[in-house]
Structure 1
Amino acid sequence: MVDATAILDSCSYTEATGRELFSAVADLGSVAGWMSFDAGMHQSAQKLFITALHAASEGADKAVGAHILQCMARQMSHLAHYSDALDLVALAQYGGRRQISPATKSMLAALESRLNAILGHLDESERAAGRAEELFTLIDPAEEPPHMAFFDAAELSATLGVAHQIAARKSEGSHRTRRADKSLDLLGRALNLRPEHRTRSKAFDHLALARTHLVASEVGGAHQETGLALTLFGMINSKRVADRLIELHDEAAQYSQVAEVADLRSRIKVSITSSDGEVAGP
């Protein structure tokens, strides 16, 4: 990435060509940064995202810039810097408000919903989820930029399903039940819509379903979904999926006296250990 931007800085071209070149480098940088993020190489990912963001600025491409900011927000969320992540989403929404597509706006609203749920802003989370769904209906695939091809109905459903799961965990009584039911519906829809080759995404979906079942105290469902997630985990190499498995292992501790949950936690521990990960606690 640094070499690519250095070459562009030293070459001659027209303004229009320069913008296209910087935009292409920014898009490439977002992919490289995401690959580093998925591998758990966070410092490398941050450097790549920042370099890509500078390239997007040089190319005056606010749409790619917004996409890079949401990648950075997801990484900040993964690292538990939730307020910083929400600030990055707000920056993407404001900075690209006149140029970003309906898919980008829907994606950012869905991510806003999830982050607000994490921060305990449950009403704001639900409103953002509603906006994400409304904006999604405005999408014309033929008018969307190539870098937004990943954001389909499955991705929207998965993101909002996790948002409702988190909100359910922070709610009580009928509110918890309603949010958990919504989460299960959305995550089930995401899985049904996923193309067969999206193995990593399907692993995340099964993990999210397992965690929602735990929120609803449905240990049988959690055990079944964890098994499916572990099968897919054995087919890929993803530090992000490994980290989510560790979170599920820890969340299940409160039910560790139940045989199915004890088995769930044991299988996660074996899988993570064999992939050179680390699970804390018994």
Structure 2
Amino acid sequence: MANEQSTAGNPQLQHWFDLTGLGRKELAALVGDRAAAKGEPNVRPDESRVRRWIRDGEIPRAPVPEILAALFSERLGIPLTPADLGLPGPDRPVLLSGVDLPWHAASTVTAIANLTRTDMMLDSSSDDAAVVKSGDDLTRPLERWPYAEPSVLSPRSGPFTGRVGMSDVEGIRALTAMFREADNRLGGGMTRKAVVATMYDANNLLKTAEYNEKVGQQLFRAVAALGSVAGWMSFDAGKHGSAQRLFVVALHAATEGGDKALGAHILQCMARQMSHLGHIKDALDLLALAQYGSRHQAGPATKALLAGLESRFRAIDGHLTESDAASAAAETAFERIGPGDDVPDYLRWFDRAELCATLGIAHQIAARQSSGNERYRRAERSTEMITEAMGLRPAGRVRSTAFDHVGLVRTHLAVGELDGATEHTRTALTLLSTLTSARVGDRLSELRDETTPFAGQSPIRELREEIDTVLATTG
């Protein structure tokens, strides 16, 4: 009656089941009756089987997914597919919860359509780190990315909903740039759903509109860039399962667009998420994959970004010599960016300020792992670089500026400079209180933990209370 099982349950099936108002026993009877009418008399689920479909994520064998979709569609008056119910079917060859999607244009378009539609329909408040893929489950399917080439959409004879040109692609890119700015100014929680909805609409053009090969390639790239923002906002909002799935389908779209550099950008977003969740080996593996796969297309900005992150992750992993080497490589690559270089839209946020902040944090992490004069030397370098970053930040980079102040606080704490820590904590709290971002709460919780050795001292005791106040109100 079932062929596989997920430990995360099936929230999509639960959502639609609840809307029907049916009981589990009633649904089981309806499925059995419908199966018998289709010539499948041996399909006779009971109440406990339905419970396992919903609660345990057990996948019923065919034809049950199609029967459930038909029953729910009739009951609710909404056309639903097995994909909408989180189940496999003829329109969805792979499960949305997986990373191992086929590297094929039609599969990519279908996966994006299913994922974005489901994301818009469901309340993903319970979508957390528990459903994120890690280790070999994450990296092995992605190891095919460096060798994946654009495929060709299946011939489409129409009728088409309209014709797409480069002006439409540019419109999607303009919206993507607007969403990026809103993300840094307000946090991912405010506009995440709007980005996902826009991605759904943009992807629908790939399926239903008429376009030539050049426009189709650029449209795939635009959908991929939009997906990277949707994934990033989901990550920032603490919707980690949604974030990872969005990153994966965006990576596939970038492949269909023939853009390995954009794919590397998406992989570094995934690496940041994995580092945030404590999977530092996965983060380093994803970075190595990005560096290798984009080696023929990546410009100096991409190389500087990837090397800078490697420096940070190597420091977290305790390999300080390798961290320093990556830091030097990032500086060298960044210096090679010429004034006439065509930096893509998705990489324009990576400026001198971002490089300094990234490397400054790497030095801060290394300082905490060092002792004696070496700790002070690294802390001084961290302070210099993060301070330079703050001086270069554009006014709209609110979250980045706030995180710069948090970085300085942690650097000051590493060497016991409580006055500096106090000053920058208050500035950071003022900025962070304006953002809707789960990452803000995570950073503040980490910062509070690092103040524990100084909790008995008056300034730090008061700051801990202020941090608690912001944590209580930050989404």
Verify same fold: TM over 0.5: yes
Find out whether 1:268 has 2:467 as its counterpart: yes
Counterpart of 2:269, as a letter, is C
Counterpart of 1:195, as a letter, is P
Aligned partner of residue 235 in structure 1, secondary structure: coil
Find out whether 1:66 has 2:264 as its counterpart: yes
The residue number in structure 1 matching 2:235 is: 37
Query: Distance between the aligned counterparts of 1:274 and 1:236, measured in 2?
Result: 10
**TM-score of the pair, normalised by structure 1:** 0.94
CA contact (8 A) 1:177 1:216 kept: yes
Matches within 5 A, 1:50-129: 50-129=248-327
Find out whether 1:132 has 2:327 as its counterpart: no
CA contact (8 A) 2:310 2:326 kept: yes
Shift of residue 189, structure 1, vs aligned partner: 0.4
CA contact (8 A) 2:228 2:246 kept: yes
CA contact (8 A) 1:34 1:71 kept: yes
Query: Distance between the aligned counterparts of 1:150 and 1:208, measured in 2?
Result: 19
* Identical-pair percentage: 55
Query: Distance between the aligned counterparts of 2:446 and 2:420, measured in 1?
Result: 17
Q: CA separation of 1:17/1:44 partners in 2, compared to 1, >3 Å: closer, same or farther?
A: same
1:168 to 339, 342, 367: 367
The Cα offsets for residues 201-248 of structure 1, whole Å up to 9 and x where unpaired, read as 110000000000000110111111100000101222121122111100
The Cα offsets for residues 70-125 of structure 1, whole Å up to 9 and x where unpaired, read as 11111111111111001111110000011011111000000000000000000000
The residue number in structure 1 matching 2:356 is: 157
The residue number in structure 2 matching 1:280 is: none
Matches within 5 A, 1:201-280: 201-275=400-474
Query: Distance between the aligned counterparts of 1:275 and 1:29, measured in 2?
Result: 25
2:244 to 46, 52, 55: 46
The residue number in structure 2 matching 1:25 is: 223
Question: What is the RMSD of the two structures over their aligned residues, measured on CA atoms?
Answer: 1.4
Counterpart of 2:449, as a letter, is D
Shift of residue 18, structure 1, vs aligned partner: 2.1
Q: CA separation of 1:104/1:141 partners in 2, compared to 1, >3 Å: closer, same or farther?
A: farther
Query: Distance between the aligned counterparts of 1:53 and 1:5, measured in 2?
Result: 14
Find out whether 1:193 has 2:403 as its counterpart: no
2:346 to 141, 147, 165: 147
Query: Distance between the aligned counterparts of 1:221 and 1:90, measured in 2?
Result: 36
Shift of residue 274, structure 1, vs aligned partner: 2.4
Greater radius of gyration (CA): 2
Structure 1 stretches of 5 or more lacking a match?
277-282
Aligned partner of residue 273 in structure 1, secondary structure: helix
CA contact (8 A) 1:5 1:55 kept: no
Query: Distance between the aligned counterparts of 2:207 and 2:378, measured in 1?
Result: 51
Q: CA separation of 1:171/1:63 partners in 2, compared to 1, >3 Å: closer, same or farther?
A: same
Structure 2 stretches of 5 or more lacking a match?
1-111, 114-199
CA contact (8 A) 1:154 1:191 kept: yes
CA contact (8 A) 1:249 1:265 kept: yes
Counterpart of 1:155, as a letter, is E
CA contact (8 A) 2:353 2:388 kept: yes
Counterpart of 2:380, as a letter, is D
Shift of residue 171, structure 1, vs aligned partner: 0.7
The Cα offsets for residues 134-190 of structure 1, whole Å up to 9 and x where unpaired, read as 111111254211111000000000000100000000111111111110000001001
Query: Distance between the aligned counterparts of 1:165 and 1:263, measured in 2?
Result: 24
Aligned partner of residue 189 in structure 1, secondary structure: helix
Shift of residue 9, structure 1, vs aligned partner: 4.6
Query: Distance between the aligned counterparts of 2:347 and 2:370, measured in 1?
Result: 33
Shift of residue 47, structure 1, vs aligned partner: 1.1
Query: Distance between the aligned counterparts of 2:291 and 2:402, measured in 1?
Result: 29
Query: Distance between the aligned counterparts of 2:303 and 2:473, measured in 1?
Result: 40
Query: Distance between the aligned counterparts of 2:254 and 2:338, measured in 1?
Result: 24
